[in-house]
Amino acid sequence: MKSAFIAVIGRPSSGKSTLINRICRQKVSIVSTSPQTTRNKIRAIYNDSEGQLVFIDTPGYHVSDKKFNLYLKEQVKSALEEVDLVLYVIDVTRKPGEEEGEICRITSAFADKLVIALNKIDEKNNYVVEIRKFLEEEARTAKIFEISGLTGAGVGELMDELLDIAPEGVKFYPEEYYTDQEPEFRASEIIREKAITHVRQEIPHALYVEISDMELQQEGQKLWIRAFLVVERESQKGIMIGRGGRMIRTIRLEAQEELNQIFPYVVHLDLRVKVNPRWRKNNSLLSKLFK
């Protein structure tokens, strides 16, 4: 029986969460066009007759010194230390940049357990040739696969390799598990995904979701959730509520629909907006949100 923890790393928006959701055939990790959607190490569990692979989705590695980004980088570094294998996802639609160099430096200590996925191979305009040349210098020993997390192309071959090089071991989780996230965290992530798809620019980064209550009602048939979209400024609160409350209503209904698919209850979501000024400078809140 094969069994491994695999850290999935790469630049923001390279397609890590999309790939993990495809591998596990479940929406485990939220996805959006906005960079740094993933803020926590999210575990996604793949099971088959050969064994169990536990993928750790990580926030994108982005070169910057801001406190918010430092937390994200810490998440990546601690993920690397915990794992058996490292899956490095590269977006072939972008030229290799400063981040690529830095990731190669960090992963050089893990070279014998590194697998590289050149992702978004479905896109016609790509830098596959340039990236391969870059990797020949920076990560010579790594195995490289061309894949698309979106269409599934090449993902089977990648999985065969990961199962092949994974160590022998026992299962860490029961076979029916595909994630180990707490229900409260999953609910907050789904609500955050719906919210960030409707707003632009700085708001996705200025937003977090607080679940203030989760309660089973009607003899365990109904799950009642009260949540807050928390933003940094009054002006952002106005945008999240929208004219006549239309924006918050749309987000609430979209989130409620998906929560209904995920949880085995009829979900009722009560969603509100509030302001928490400068929360991204608040260390104790950051360590709670990014735990």
Ligand X SMILES: Nc1nc2c(ncn2[C@@H]2O[C@H](COP(=O)(O)OP(=O)(O)O)[C@@H](O)[C@H]2O)c(=O)[nH]1
| Maximum CA extent, the chain | 62
Query: Any residues with CB less than 8 A from the CB of 215 and at least 6 apart, and which?
Result: 223, 224
How far apart are the C-alpha atoms of 262 and 4, rounded to whole Å? 26
User: Which residue is at the shortest CB distance from ligand X?
Assistant: 15
What tokens were used for 94?
């972008």
Question: Which of ligand X, Mg ion, none interacts with 186 (beta carbon under 5 to 8 A by kind)?
Answer: none
Query: Any residues with CB less than 8 A from the CB of 27 and at least 6 apart, and which?
Result: 21, 258, 262
**Minimum distance, C-beta of residue 185 to ligand X, in the bound complex (Å):** 17
**Minimum distance, C-beta of residue 185 to Mg ion, in the bound complex (Å):** 15
**Minimum distance, C-beta of residue 68 to ligand X, in the bound complex (Å):** 15
94 vs 280 by CB, closer to ligand X = 94
153 vs 216 by CB, closer to ligand X = 153
Tell which one of 14, 17, 75, 93 touches Mg ion (CB under 5 A): 17
Question: Which of ligand X, Mg ion, none interacts with 204 (beta carbon under 5 to 8 A by kind)?
Answer: none
Q: Which stretches of the chain bind ligand X, using CB under 6 A?
A: 10, 12-18, 31-33, 37-38, 60, 119-120, 122-123, 148-150
User: Which residue is at the shortest CB distance from Mg ion?
Assistant: 38
- 24-83 binders of Mg ion (CB under 5 A): 38
Residue type, 161: E
Put residue 278 in one of left, alpha, beta given phi > 0 → left and psi -120 to 50 → alpha.
left
**Minimum distance, C-beta of residue 21 to ligand X, in the bound complex (Å):** 8
**Minimum distance, C-beta of residue 8 to Mg ion, in the bound complex (Å):** 9
119 vs 179 by CB, closer to ligand X = 119
146 DSSP β-pair partners? 118
How far apart are the C-alpha atoms of 234 and 236, rounded to whole Å? 5
75 vs 256 by CB, closer to Mg ion = 75
38 vs 40 by CB, closer to ligand X = 38
CB 93 within 8 A of CB 150: no
Question: Which of Mg ion, ligand X, none interacts with 14 (beta carbon under 5 to 8 A by kind)?
Answer: ligand X
128 vs 266 by CB, closer to ligand X = 128
Size of the site for Mg ion (CB under 5 A): 3
Residue type, 38: T
* CA distances from residue 190 to 128, 233, 269, 284 in whole angstroms, order as listed: 33, 22, 12, 23
- What is the three-class DSSP state of 169? coil
171 vs 205 by CB, closer to ligand X = 205
**How far from the centroid of its chain's Cα atoms is residue 81's Cα?**
18
230 DSSP β-pair partners? 208, 274
**Minimum distance, C-beta of residue 112 to Mg ion, in the bound complex (Å):** 26
By CB under 5 A, name the binding residues for Mg ion: 16-17, 38
